[in-house]
Amino acid sequence: MDENAAKRTGYMVVGAAWLAVFCLFGYRATFSVLLGPMAKNMGWTVAQTSLGYSLMMTIYAITAYFSGMIIDRWGTRPAYFLGAIFGALGFYLTSLTQGYFQYLAIYAIFAGIGTGMLWVSSTVSVRKWYVGKAYATMWGLAFMGAPIAQAVLSLGVKSVLLTLDWRQAMQGLSIVILVALIIAALIAKKSPEDYNLQPFGLMPASATAPAKAEYSWNVKEAFGQYAIWGTILAFLTSMVAEFLIWTQVVMFWTTDAKLSLGTATNLYIAIGIAGIFTMPLMGMMADKVVVGVGNEPRGRKIMLIFAPAAGVVACILLLLSKTSMTAGVISCIIFAIYWAIEPGGCAGYAGAIYGRKSLGRIWGLATLIVMGIGPAVGSFMGGYLYDISGSYNNSIIFALVAYALSAIIAFTLPLAAEPKVIAGGKDTSAISG
C-alpha cells in the first residue's frame, strides 16, 4: 500500500469513528428532548422515564468492556455492526412500547448494547492508527461528531415534535442510527499491522532511547499498575462533574439565574456549537504539546491537568452567570474546551502507557468502571444538593471540586508502567510508554 492509500485508509478509520461518536452522543442528546413528551404521553413521572436512561447507561458500561475484547480480536467492524442493529432497535422498539416495564427492558437492553459498542471502539480504533504527534488531532476530528449530534439531532427532534409525537421521532432516529453505523462498519479497518503499515505519528526514537517493541499487556498486569487506576480516577471525577453540569445546567439557568427556558436551552446548545470548533483545535494543541515536550505520556498528562482546570474556571464563570450573561457565554466555550480534551485525552494517555496491542480490553474495563459510576453519581448529586438547599449553587460548587480533584490526580500520573514477567524462574521487566 503506497503512502496516499495508507493515509486514505487512516481517514476511513477516523470517518467511521466520527459516525460512531455521532450516533452515541445523538442518543444522549435526544433523550433530554424526548423525555418530556414521553412522560406526558405515557402518564409517567419524569423520574420514572429517566430511569430508563439510567438503566441504559448501566448496560452501556458493561457492554463497553466486552466491546474492547471484540476490538482487540476482530477489529471495530463487528462492534459497529452490532451497534447498528441494537442501536436502531433501541429506538424503534421503544417507539412501539405500551407499558412501563416493557419500556425499561427494551430501552435499557437494546439501546445499552447499541451505544456500548461505540465509545471504546471509536477511541481505540483511532488510537491504533494514530499515536504520538498525530493522535489528538485525528481524535479531535472524530470527536466532532459529538457536538454536531448534540446540535443537529436535538434541533431535528424538536422540529419533528412540533407536528408529530415522540414515537415518530424515535422511528426516524432509528433509521439515522442504522444507516450511519452500517456505513461506519463498511469503512472501518483493522489495526495498521494487518495492512503491513505502521501507525501514523510515531515519535522518533533518540540515540539513547531506541524504540522498543510493544509489550502485550494482559488486564491483570495492567490493573496492577497505578497508571490505569490514576487514569480511571482522573476520568471518573471529571465525569461526575461533567454529567452534573450536563444534566443540571439548564435548570440552574432557569432557577437560579432566572433565565427563560428558551435562553437557557440556547446556551446549552452553544456548548455543542462551540465544541464543533474546540474538538479539532484542542486536538492540534494537544499534539503540539506532545511534540514540544518530546514525550507522549508527559504531553497527554499535561493536557489531563489542563482540561479539568478549565472545568474549574468554567464552573466559576457559571456561578457568575447569575448576574452576567457574558460570563455564561464564556463558561459554555470553556466547557467545550474541557469536553474536547478529557475523554479522548484519557484514552490517549492510557494508549501512550500501555501501547496499542491490548488497549481495547484495558480501556474497555476502565470505561466500565468510569461510566458505571460517574454519570449516575454526577446526575444524582446535582439533583440531591438542589433538593436539600433549594439552589443549584452547591451543585455547581460540587462539580468545581470534582474538576479540581481530577486535575490533582492527573498531576500524579506516572510517565511509564513496568510489568514484571516471570520467565525461566527469573523476573524480567518490559517498559511501555
Looking at residue 286, what is its pLDDT?
93
CA distance 38 to 95: 10
CA distance 281 to 146: 15
CA distance 18 to 36: 29
Residues 6 or more apart in contact with residue 225 via CB below 8 angstroms: 414, 417, 418, 419
**CA end-to-end span of the chain, whole Å?**
28
Report which of 282, 286, 284, 433 is spatially closest to residue 362, judged by C-alpha positions. 433
Residue ranges of the chain assigned to CATH 1.20.1250.20: 1-192, 217-433
Report which of 298, 311, 302 is spatially closest to residue 239, judged by C-alpha positions. 311
Looking at residue 421, what is its pLDDT?
56
Q: According to CATH, what is the number of the domain 217-433?
A: 1.20.1250.20
CB 258 within 8 A of CB 324: no
Report which of 347, 342, 296, 302 is spatially closest to residue 71, judged by C-alpha positions. 347
Looking at residue 431, what is its pLDDT?
45
Looking at residue 428, what is its pLDDT?
43
Looking at residue 182, what is its pLDDT?
97
Distance of CA 422 to the CA centre of its chain: 36
CA distance 321 to 252: 10
CA distance 274 to 144: 10
Residues of the chain with pLDDT under 70: 204-213, 420-433
As its CATH architecture, domain 1-192 has Up-down Bundle (1.20)
CA distance 323 to 316: 12
Looking at residue 378, what is its pLDDT?
87
Looking at residue 425, what is its pLDDT?
43
